[in-house]
Chain A
Amino acid sequence: MKTAIKSIVSAAVLGIASLSSALADDFGKLQVHGFATQNFLYSDHNNFFGDSEDGSFEFYEIGLNGLWQATPRFKVAGQILLRDAGATDDGKLRADYLFADYAFWQGDDSTAGLRLGRILNPFGMYNDTRDVAHTRPSILLPQSIYFDVNRNLALSADGGMLYLQKEFANSGIDLQLFKLKPRTRDPDLEPALFFADLAGRLEGDRDSWLARLIYNYDLDRIRMGLVSGSIKLDYKPAAMDIMLGAGLTFKPTIAFAEYNAENWTLSGEFARRRVSQFAALAGAPEVQGKATGSSYFVQYTRRLNSDWEAYLRYDNLVWNDKDEDGKQFAAQTGLPDHSRYAKDWTLGLRWDVSENLMLGAELHQVKGTGWLSRLENPDPSRDREDWHLFAFSASLRF
């Protein structure tokens, strides 16, 4: 039944999409694109995006986006998405982004403008199109940086953004400054932060910001960037809540680079995540904590011919740099030490069957459970430190 509803909805979305796409030709200034991806996951231990230990189809993404260039200076862009990812997402329709964009300054080789609305977070190399399988470097993004458990929070936020794009002789820069109020409607956000699902709710604080500078040389032969920011969340207690107040500040610094040659691409990203948290439980003194964690990945992608691609990646997550092996954490909480890190070797293959259809398969060999969802793995003592995850993906786009 659920599957039937899913296919009806996806058929409807795609139907509307092809209709709009046909209309686009007539109006000229409206472009509509869409994508649909169905994945299959299988793991030998631990669950990721559904009951992957038994094989899970609970990871799919169906999206539709449109851009209306009203005048050369003014445009409106939006994307709606249906997404399920096991217990970490709900399969419901949401607006990923919807913003108005006014280019208030257009020089010969530069543009500056303002965006208002729900805007994609300028966070790392892949965040802007993280749900579009065709644009990802793999089926699952490197989880150390693109932690999918709080995907909505990471993807986009409501606020205002100033941007500047400038072209030089054979290079260019993009600068984005974003003042935002974080989105906090991820099912697994509170469990991930407080190790429990609480009665109250987390709200984004308007005092949050993100900035990104990207430099590209020779039409993206080299592309590199820097990200900095501060994301604040406040806990709003419910009536009779055991948690009287809590908050979290997340300050990421990210550096990334990629080199694109004819037959290969080398890419990597490094993130330092500074987190400070406080929590006040009823009848207990307020607890404060600070930790700095690091993430990085390096990926080598080899284009075997125009349709086939193979890739190898190492992705490393450490939640607390001062407790890399999680031993202190385990001693203090009784939870497994391996939940504080994850070292993930990924090997994958991608086949672009046609312009619109793509198939992919990848294998993860993981040591550590640092990016697993607690909702999907409720009993920490059952988690296994060494595990494998296999993913298969079929994706359509237009």
Chain B
Amino acid sequence: MCLYRLKHKWRPPWLLILALLVNFFPQAIAQDDVNNIAVIANLGADTSDLNVSRLKSIFGMRTRSWRNGNQIQVFVLKDNNPLHILFTKKVLRTYPYNLRRIWDRRVYSGTGLAPTVVNSEQEMLKLISETDNAIGYISKRNIGQNVKVLEIR
């Protein structure tokens, strides 16, 4: 039926399309307080000189080493994890889809690695404490003893 119509002077329904494109589907935005997010690093990581733009560059996988030259190990939660969404929007001031595009471009062009994705905050905490030069983020209520909490200016 549809194919038949294609053969005979099919015209896209431009008005409907326009309505669809302009229509704002409400976005589900996590309402947690940004103050509940902690950026954490391995105790041995040289996290000197860290500000928001450097943090952006680190999570964008463009800045690859700490000031002492050691290679940074980046850990993130899954793209649809509410804490990841919050961290991306409130701390990095970008969007999960955009980070994913940046990482995909690196990975599929063979120019760099993507961050390691972890499944839970518990796993994040464990890996950050055990991995040299690691950085990640976590809810403040889940902070443990064996990582350092970074002050981002």
Nearest CB on B from A86, distance (A):
19
Give Cα distance in the complex from A97 to B111, angstroms.
Answer: 11
Pair B21/A302 contact, Cβ less than 8 Å: yes
Pair B27/A305 contact, Cβ less than 8 Å: yes
Pair B65/A79 contact, Cβ less than 8 Å: no
Which residues of chain B (24-39) have a CB below 8 Å from chain A?
24-25, 27-28
**Cβ of B77 under 8 Å from chain A:** no
Contacts of B65 in A (CB 8 A): 72, 106
Closest to B18 in A: A312
* Known contacts A33-B108, A69-B113, A120-B110; A169 and B53 CB within 8 A of each other: yes
**Cβ of A292 under 8 Å from chain B:** no
Give Cα distance in the complex from A167 to B62, angstroms.
Answer: 8
**Cβ of A42 under 8 Å from chain B:** yes
Give Cα distance in the complex from A62 to B13, angstroms.
Answer: 34
Nearest CB on B from A110, distance (A):
10
Pair B63/A167 contact, Cβ less than 8 Å: yes
Nearest CB on A from B48, distance (A):
11
The answer, among A221, A262, A345, for a CB contact under 8 Å with B27, is A262
**Cβ of B67 under 8 Å from chain A:** yes
**Cβ of A210 under 8 Å from chain B:** no
Nearest CB on A from B33, distance (A):
20
Which residues of chain B (126-148) have a CB below 8 Å from chain A?
none
**Cβ of A140 under 8 Å from chain B:** no
Give Cα distance in the complex from A329 to B146, angstroms.
Answer: 73
**Cβ of A224 under 8 Å from chain B:** no
Chain A: interface residue count, which band? 35 or more
Contacts of B113 in A (CB 8 A): 31, 67, 69
Contacts of A128 in B (CB 8 A): 105, 108-109, 111
The answer, among A111, A134, A388, for a CB contact under 8 Å with B64, is A111
Q: Mark B77-108, 1 if CB is under 8 A from A, else 0.
A: 01110000000000011111111011011011
**Cβ of B74 under 8 Å from chain A:** no
Q: How many A-B residue pairs have CB under 8 A?
A: 117
Contacts of B114 in A (CB 8 A): 31
**Cβ of A65 under 8 Å from chain B:** yes
Closest to A260 in B: B98
Pair A44/B6 contact, Cβ less than 8 Å: yes
**Cβ of A263 under 8 Å from chain B:** yes
Q: Mark B3-33, 1 if CB is under 8 A from A, else 0.
A: 1001100101000010011011101100000
Pair B105/A167 contact, Cβ less than 8 Å: no
Pair A109/B63 contact, Cβ less than 8 Å: yes
Nearest CB on B from A36, distance (A):
13
Contacts of B99 in A (CB 8 A): 219
Pair A132/B104 contact, Cβ less than 8 Å: yes
Pair A78/B110 contact, Cβ less than 8 Å: yes
Pair B12/A219 contact, Cβ less than 8 Å: no
* Known contacts A128-B105, A305-B25; A97 and B3 CB within 8 A of each other: no
Pair B110/A365 contact, Cβ less than 8 Å: no
Q: Mark A43-75, 1 if CB is under 8 A from B, else 0.
A: 010000000000000000000010101001000
Contacts of B108 in A (CB 8 A): 33, 35, 65, 79, 128-129, 132, 135
* Known contacts A78-B110, A99-B110; A129 and B98 CB within 8 A of each other: no
Q: B interface vs A, CB < 8 Å?
A: 3, 6-7, 10, 12, 17, 20-21, 23-25, 27-28, 53, 56-57, 60, 62-65, 67, 69, 71, 78-80, 92-99, 101-102, 104-105, 107-114
Q: Given A67-B112, A218-B93, 15 other A-B contacts at CB below 8 A?
A: A31-B113, A31-B114, A67-B107, A67-B113, A78-B110, A99-B110, A128-B109, A135-B104, A165-B62, A262-B27, A303-B97, A306-B80, A310-B21, A345-B12, A355-B78
24 contacts between A and B (CB under 8 A): A42-B3, A65-B110, A69-B113, A77-B111, A78-B110, A128-B108, A129-B104, A129-B105, A129-B109, A135-B108, A165-B62, A218-B56, A219-B60, A219-B92, A219-B94, A263-B24, A304-B25, A306-B28, A306-B80, A306-B97, A312-B17, A347-B12, A355-B78, A388-B6
